């Protein structure tokens, strides 16, 4: 990830009129945003999240992580305890605790779309290797690197993993992970988007050349919009936080949005405001101000 200019103040305020609207929901990414680099939630952030809920502001964790990786925040859920996982592919109820998360909504990637995307990207970027993320299973090609903190359920070519008789064929596919060992991450993302077109949604959240491919129209923003509509919450009443390209749509959609001090340049351009880095509790800094203004 490219280095960014230093932040000159704790918070750069949003430039849009929505800043005057009282927030009803906070949507925050996890890695590189709410979490510190050691994957911890700081005491200050825990207190800020609790203060937001006490003030009547819902908090949604909106992440690229699968549901089974949500233990890092399971102890910090309040109120509804819902999270948007897999870049919008699933809405998960975290109340059950580690290992007992319940899928509330699934927006799957059709296997035919996934197969087509794999084929097109193999042609456009030879050397790409793949993994398949499903609701409960994780499958990968033999050459896919050890990028994740788990052992795959099956090793096979992506085409076999996505076949109608593949292991886990009765489970929805949430996203395809595509890794290239030598391409620049942003160049790989642009190439993949051109190659795949509207057959799937392509984004990335890793500093490496690792792409995440979801169903057409599936993103953090589109699933968050669905959840907000169910609650009668308008986009002007949402405050969002993020740091990587998979957050861009969400930050653009929200009435108020903040790029972290450590954010990717595209995120800084998309957000209406900027806060300090994740290791400096940038989300908590803004939430504390929001809560103070409601008193």
Structure tokens at 265: 């340049």
- Confidence bin at 146 (pLDDT 50/70/90): confident
**Residue 5: its pLDDT value, please?**
40
The mean pLDDT value for 235-257 works out to 98
Dihedral in degrees, nearest 10, Cα atoms 278, 84, 232, 52: -30
- Confidence bin at 147 (pLDDT 50/70/90): confident
Question: Model pTM?
Answer: 0.91
Domain boundaries defined on the chain: 25-107+219-294, 111-214
Q: Which CATH architecture has domain 25-107+219-294?
A: 3-Layer(aba) Sandwich (3.40)
For the domain spanning 111-214, the CATH number is: 3.30.1240.10
**Residue 15: its pLDDT value, please?**
54
The CA-atom distances, in angstroms, between 76 and each of 37, 44, 49, 53 are: 18, 12, 8, 11
Return the number of other C-beta atoms located less than 10 Å from residue 45's C-beta: 22
CA distance 141 to 145: 9
Q: Mean pLDDT in the chain?
A: 90
Give SS3 for 119: helix
Report the sign of the C-alpha dihedral through residues 197, 201, 205, 209, in that order: negative
pLDDT of residue 98 exceeding 70, the answer is no
Residue % of the chain over a pLDDT of 70: 89
């Amino acid at each position: 990830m490219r280095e960014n200019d230093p932040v000159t103040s704790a918070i750069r305020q949003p430039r849009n009129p929505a800043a005057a609207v009282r927030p009803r929901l906070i949507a925050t990414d996890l890695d590189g945003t709410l979490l510190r680099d050691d994957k911890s939630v700081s005491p200050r952030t825990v207190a800020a999240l609790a203060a937001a809920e006490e003030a009547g502001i819902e908090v949604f964790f909106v992440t690229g992580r699968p549901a089974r990786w949500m233990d890092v925040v399971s102890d910090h859920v309040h109120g509804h305890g819902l999270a948007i996982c897999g870049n919008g592919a699933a809405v998960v109820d975290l109340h059950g605790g580690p290992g007992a998360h319940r899928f509330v909504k699934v927006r799957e990637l059709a296997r035919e779309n996934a197969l087509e995307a794999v084929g097109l990207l193999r042609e456009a970027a030879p050397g790409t290797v793949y993994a398949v993320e499903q609701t409960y299973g994780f499958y990968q090609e033999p050459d896919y690197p050890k990028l994740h903190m788990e052992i795959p359920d099956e090793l096979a070519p992506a085409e076999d993993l996505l076949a109608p008789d593949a292991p886990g064929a009765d489970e929805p596919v949430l996203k395809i992970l595509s890794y290239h060992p030598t391409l620049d991450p942003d160049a790989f993302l642009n190439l993949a988007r051109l190659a795949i077109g509207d057959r799937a949604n392509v984004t990335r959240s890793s500093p490496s050349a690792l792409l995440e491919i979801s169903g057409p129209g599936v993103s953090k923003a589109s699933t968050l919009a669905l959840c907000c509509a169910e609650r009668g919450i308008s986009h002007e009443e949402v405050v969002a936080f993020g740091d990587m390209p998979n957050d861009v749509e969400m930050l653009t959609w929200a009435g108020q949005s903040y790029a972290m001090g450590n954010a990717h340049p595209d995120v800084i351009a998309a957000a209406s405001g900027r806060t300090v880095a994740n290791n400096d509790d940038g989300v908590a800094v803004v939430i504390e101000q929001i809560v103070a203004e409601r008193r």
